[in-house]
């Protein structure tokens, strides 16, 4: 069974993320969406909320969602994953992602990093852009799955949680 990991902070999951997850699920027998806690970023949503959002949006039954705060290649090795699948947006993603891919390969030579190019309509879409637009009262309905838009609006208006 070919297993891939799709790592990210998903704070929150966007239509760009979802597109990559769905395409990865067509290519692999099983995809684990790995919600990573990143100590350098202050998230708007808790790990559990981010996991819940992804579970509500993904329809393919070969997709699982998990959380992790360690070294990605350790998780991949422990879970028998053969690939890390990442989405590539503009050229700006490339340098950093290429560096990560090389580091991961040197830490765990059996792992491959696979880049899927973002769809043109998602090319400039990021979680931080969604949070910014939403906090300023803008319409985010074309950026995030309909299932979670209201939860994001609520948090941006400030429901007191997670501040």
* Residue whose CB is less far from ligand ADP, 142 or 160: 142
Active site annotation includes 127:
yes
Q: Tell me if 113 contacts ligand ADP by CB under 6 A.
A: no
- Catalytic option among 77, 89, 105, 119: 89
The answer to whether residues 28 and 105 touch, using CB atoms and an 8 Å cutoff, is no
The residue within the footprint of ligand ADP, chosen from 75, 122, 134, 155 (CB under 6 A), is 122
Number of helices (H), then strands (E), belonging to the chain: the values are: 6, 5
Which run of H or of E encompasses 36?
strand 30-36
Query: Which region, left, alpha or beta, applies to residue 96 given φ > 0 means left and ψ of -120 to 50 means alpha?
Result: alpha
In the complex, the smallest distance separating the C-beta of residue 121 from ligand ADP, rounded to whole angstroms, is 9
Which of the residues 71 through 90 are near ligand ADP (CB under 6 A)? Answer: 86-87, 89
The answer to whether residues 51 and 67 touch, using CB atoms and an 8 Å cutoff, is yes
Residues that bind ligand ADP (CB under 6 A): 8-10, 14, 16-17, 20, 86-87, 89, 93, 118, 122, 125-128
């Amino acid at each position: 069974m070919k297993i891939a990991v799709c790592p990210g902070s998903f704070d929150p999951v966007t239509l760009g993320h979802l597109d990559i997850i769905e395409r990865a699920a067509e290519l692999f027998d099983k995809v684990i969406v790995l919600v990573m806690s990143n100590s350098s970023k202050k998230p708007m949503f808790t790990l559990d909320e981010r996991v819940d959002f992804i579970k509500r949006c993904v329809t393919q039954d070969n997709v699982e969602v998990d959380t992790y705060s360690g070294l990605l290649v350790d998780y991949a090795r422990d879970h028998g994953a053969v690939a890390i699948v990442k989405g590539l947006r503009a050229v700006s993603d490339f340098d950093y992602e290429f560096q990560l891919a090389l580091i991961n390969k040197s830490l765990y030579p059996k792992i491959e990093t696979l880049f899927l190019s973002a769809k043109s309509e998602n090319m400039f879409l990021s979680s931080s852009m969604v949070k910014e637009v939403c906090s300023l009262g803008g319409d985010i309905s074309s950026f995030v799955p309909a299932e979670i838009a209201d939860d994001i609006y609520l948090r941006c208006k400030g429901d007191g949680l997670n501040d």
